[in-house]
């Protein structure tokens, strides 16, 4: 059975490392997982290229992981190349997983439940208020995760509030109807969890000092590690690798129908990052 991660750029992706480690741990011979460069605007052509001459189903292909810039592009294919989309993918407005079914590709999103699982693995504390550094696509999915964890107030901290409109709309669309607001990046609202979606280079000493006592820091960056925020954190820390592993665990289970070996996948990711840093 064939699986792959698609995106552009894609050479840096850890997904092949994680999925292959799971295959090895469970002895799944004959399963492959590769990284394939698929630029934006070309997903339709790639999916069509998988189709055999006789039509659906596409041979040995079982599952596809999607990264940027294809997640929203896949949503637009609903009713065409993508036959169905899960409720959570509709909520996020993005598909990061395509699974072959008897009737066509089924779209799903494992970023949202993966983020929830990553936080809960590191902390069982109550979440009523959340703050997010940044207001892009990652802020949207992690903001929804904060609401799933119990947050009723989510504050976006951004340099340009005018660019946060789509993210506000996505988080605010959650059935729980959270309050979503935007403040300048130098604000420090009360929060049980801080999600950082900004690069390490943007984590200034002043910003770090404002957030070093937050109960839970969710740092979506995993390389370089530790970031300035992580190095100064006094509370629980959730890493970008935690997020990547948990969303990959869910993808693996959707693709194979088997329980994923989380520990083996995490260890493989840690080894790969250690080699990268060396």
pLDDT tens for residues 236-272? Answer: 999 999 999 999 999 999 999 999 999 999 999 999 9
- Residue 118 predicted with pLDDT over 70: yes
Q: Examine domains 2-109+242-277 and 113-234 and report if their fold is the same.
A: yes
Q: What is the DSSP string of 75-102?
A: HTTBTTTEEEE-HHHHHHT---EEEE-S
Active-site residue among 2, 71, 129, 177? 71
Q: Name 234's Cβ contacts closer than 8 Å, sequence gap at least 6.
A: 212, 213
Instruction: Give the Cα-Cα-Cα angle 202, 203, 206 (nearest 5 degrees).
Output: 120
Confidence (pLDDT) at 137? 85
CATH code of 2-109+242-277, in short, is: 3.40.50.10860
Pairing of strands 153-157, 193-196: unpaired
Show me where the domains of the chain are located.
2-109+242-277, 113-234
Confidence (pLDDT) at 136? 87
Nearest CA-CA partner of 269 in 35, 17, 88, 27 = 17
Angle at which helices 15-26 and 240-256 pack, to 10 degrees?
50
pLDDT tens for residues 3-58? Answer: 999 999 999 999 999 999 999 999 999 999 999 999 999 999 999 999 887 777 78
- Residue 276 predicted with pLDDT over 60: no
- Residue 80 predicted with pLDDT over 90: no
Q: Catalytic site residue 71?
A: yes
- Residue 119 predicted with pLDDT over 80: yes
Confidence (pLDDT) at 278? 32
Confidence (pLDDT) at 245? 97
Nearest CA-CA partner of 241 in 258, 218, 211, 259 = 218
CATH code of 113-234, in short, is: 3.40.50.720
- Residue 277 predicted with pLDDT over 80: no
């Amino acid at each position: 059975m064939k699986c792959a991660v698609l995106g552009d750029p894609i050479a840096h992706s850890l997904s092949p490392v994680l999925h292959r480690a799971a295959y090895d741990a469970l002895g799944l011979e004959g399963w492959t997982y590769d990284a394939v460069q698929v630029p934006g605007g070309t997903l339709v052509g790639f999916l069509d290229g998988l189709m055999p001459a006789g039509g659906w189903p596409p041979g040995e292909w079982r599952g596809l992981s999607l990264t940027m810039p294809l997640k929203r592009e896949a949503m637009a294919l609903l009713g065409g190349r993508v036959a169905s989309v899960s409720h959570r993918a509709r909520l996020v407005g993005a598909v990061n997983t395509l699974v072959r079914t008897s009737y066509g590709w089924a779209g799903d999103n494992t970023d949202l439940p993966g983020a929830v699982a990553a936080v809960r693995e590191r902390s069982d504390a109550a979440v009523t208020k959340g703050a997010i550094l940044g207001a892009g696509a990652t802020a949207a999915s992690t903001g929804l995760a904060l609401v799933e964890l119990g947050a009723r107030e989510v504050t976006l901290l951004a340099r340009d509030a005018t660019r946060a409109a789509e993210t506000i709309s996505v988080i605010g669309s959650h059935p729980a109807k959270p309050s979503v607001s935007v403040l300048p990046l130098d604000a420090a609202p009360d929060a049980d969890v801080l999600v950082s979606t900004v690069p390490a280079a943007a984590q200034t000493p002043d910003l770090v000092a404002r957030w070093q006592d937050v109960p839970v820091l969710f740092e979506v960056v995993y390389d370089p590690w530790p970031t300035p925020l992580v190095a100064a954190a006094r509370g629980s820390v959730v890493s970008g690798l935690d997020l990547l592993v948990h969303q990959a665990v869910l993808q693996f289970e959707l693709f194979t129908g088997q329980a994923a070996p989380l520990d083996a996948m995490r260890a493989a990711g840690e080894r790969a990052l250690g080699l990268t840093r060396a």
